[in-house]
Structure 1
Amino acid sequence: MPLSNTLPSSSKTMPLRAGMACVALFLAVQAAHAAPRHPKPIRDAEAKGAKVVATFPAASGLTGWVVSQNGTYSMAFTTADRKTLIVGELIDEKGKNLNDHYADKYFPKAASAGNAGNAVNSSPRPSRARENNR
């Protein structure tokens, strides 16, 4: 009697499942390498010397971006389709300036004397996002 007839049916499908999992993993890795990490408008800014410091989920399906250039931090947003860059104040339906909230949360903190080498940028942290978006 062949060994395959003595194995439980779940053991027979195990190699198939493992093979399918490997193929799925391979395809996921390939897709990740094929898709650019940053949207084109952000890549264009990087080509001009900007450095992406942070990304974050923002209101209404937008993606927020904190970028640094020449010691200055600024904030921008991209649409869900990654094709459009929005620069300026993001105001919610209650009139709250979301840029201030995002700046407090995502802009790097000012470097302290003890860890200046670990800071992303040792320049002082801007106090308000809108001052850096103009």
Structure 2
Amino acid sequence: RTIDNRNWFARMQRVSRLERWLVDIPISVYLAWICVATIVNVASALDSSGWNGGGFSPTVWAIVMLTLGAILAANAALQQQDTAFAVVFVWAYVAIAVRHVDQRSVAIVAGLLAIGLLGLALRNTRTGRRQLGSRR
């Protein structure tokens, strides 16, 4: 079976600014929040089930989960040029850094990842790539 390239090209067409703001950006923001919530819920479920972290401390696992989320957001920013998706993770990571200021290593990693993701988001807007949303 061959791949129908017409659908692929249709998705790559430019969309109007109105469609980008009313369709693409809300979907990107919603999808990003679903991803953030899923990461948090998995961590919470593991914690409440009594999982001991496989010998690693909760701080190490928090940093691992933050890093996995950042990889997901960076992929959206770099591969899909989806700035809105990355900005949601910036927002979440700043909130995590503020909330966990007493756990210095978690706060520092969350803050650094937020700065890195913000840099990728700004790169997309400055290089003329799609600024927000998921389609060209």
Bin for the TM-score computed over the shorter chain: under 0.3
Question: Going by fraction, where is helix more abundant, 1 or 2?
Answer: 2
Higher-Rg structure is 1
Q: Which has the higher contact order (CA 8 A, sep 6+)?
A: 2
